[in-house]
Amino acid sequence: MSKNRRRVVVTGMGAITPLGLDLVSYWDGLVSGRSGAAPITRFDASDYDTRFACEVKNFNPLDFIDRKMINRMDLFTQFGVSASDMAIKDAGWSLDAMDRTRIGVVYGSGIGGMSTYQKQQETLYETGGPHRISPFFVPMLISDICAGYISMRHGLKGPNYATTSACATSSNAIIDAVMLIERGLADAIVAGGAEAVVCPMGVGGFNAMKALSTRNDDPTHASRPFDLKRDGFVMGEGGATLILEDLEYAMSRGARIYAELSGFGMSADAYHITAPAPGGEGAVRSMKMAVEDAHLNPQDIHYINVHGTSTLPGDISETNAIKVAFGDSAYKVAISSTKSMTGHLLGAAGAVEAIASVLAIHYQTAPPTINYEFPDPACDLDYIPNVARPMKIDAALSNGFGFGGHNASLVFTRFEA
């Protein structure tokens, strides 16, 4: 990291995931190798090719949000607002004593309020025409509204906007937050993402693309990144938030620091709307840029939380990209896909996996890739099969790649003053 730019650290985190409703239960689910997949409960999926997902379970928005506001929020916003409340509390912020014009929010969603759109469309065509559409339809739908609610809820008047780059969405939100802090445009940023598209249009749409696993008779073993018998990803949902602060700002208030965000990389495949570029060329550049930005060498990275979606071409492409980006170190670095447990949280994936990477450093333990039973000869790296691994982790890389050819990589390191 350049000596003339501000250092950025992680001081708080919050997560609403298919494995649990807080950091403790999320991490416990990861290290115990627990799958969040189960039959879909949000709608009758009996006619769908895929009838299971990694839904968030036992979430009660009233634990965070009053009833009047709940009725004005899509589920993705409820997830994001709740995760952000947790993260702000975890960071120990005393907002009344802080300059809130210097605190911003960058919070993304890959799709936004899809279930709200579907429900209001049903209202339009089935129960009374355009005059029955809710006046809150548009504010509930738009993907930036979660960032808006977070800022209004806590009076945060710094930079405020959303990112949308498919499955790289919340990785890009984190990167934007870092750049804002480095440039001195904010002292702290609430960053992350939320997604909630386990609904008829969401599942039906991804089924139409042949992107989802159809292992309906065995949902908990359906997400199996790098396994020879993988047949597609498992849809997940939830929200995840990181509190990022300028190091001097954090230290001035005596903050607890989880890790430093030391580098990032971004690139475009410029190749295909859904398929990765040949050889993972775009991912290679993203990872190389992140490691170089952190002023590290490939051998300095101890753990990679890969994008690892459990799709046939995607896992091979990422494996090949790691081999090119890391050279001889590719076979020495520990790798896992936590999507094997959480499913794919789409626009929230980058943030929920960034948290997993930070906690891996914090607890010096790498989560596993579960359901790894039949090695794929084309995927021949160390994927930490099935059981978490206590190990030295001073630096972790987190990858997020999205439809449209969006690539984003983050490097977190153990904090040293």
Q: Which residue out of 302, 307, 362, 406 is catalytically annotated?
A: 307
Report the alpha-carbon distance of residue 323 to residue 330 in Å, rounded: 5
Is-contact 315 330, C-beta < 8 A? no
Is-contact 235 202, C-beta < 8 A? yes
Respond yes or no: is residue 131 known to be catalytic: no
DSSP assignment, residue 154?
H
| Alpha-helical regions (H) of 92-226 | 114-126, 137-141, 145-154, 169-182, 200-208
Report the alpha-carbon distance of residue 50 to residue 211 in Å, rounded: 10
- Residues 397, 268, 348, 66: what is their CA dihedral angle, to the nearest 10 degrees? 130
Q: Which residue out of 154, 344, 362, 406 is catalytically annotated?
A: 344
Length of the chain, in residues: 417
Neighbours of 26 (CB within 10 A): 27
Report the alpha-carbon distance of residue 148 to residue 350 in Å, rounded: 20
**What burial class does residue 336 get, using C-beta atoms within 10 Å of its C-beta: 0-12 exposed, 13-18 middle, 19+ buried?**
buried
Respond yes or no: is residue 167 known to be catalytic: yes
CA angle 50–370–239, rounded 5-degree value:
65
Is-contact 218 68, C-beta < 8 A? no
Q: Which residue out of 54, 146, 154, 167 is catalytically annotated?
A: 167
DSSP characters over 320-382: HHHHHHHGGGGGTSEEE-THHHH-B-GGGHHHHHHHHHHHHHHHTEEPPBTT--SB-TT--S-
Q: Which residues are catalytically annotated?
A: 167, 307, 344
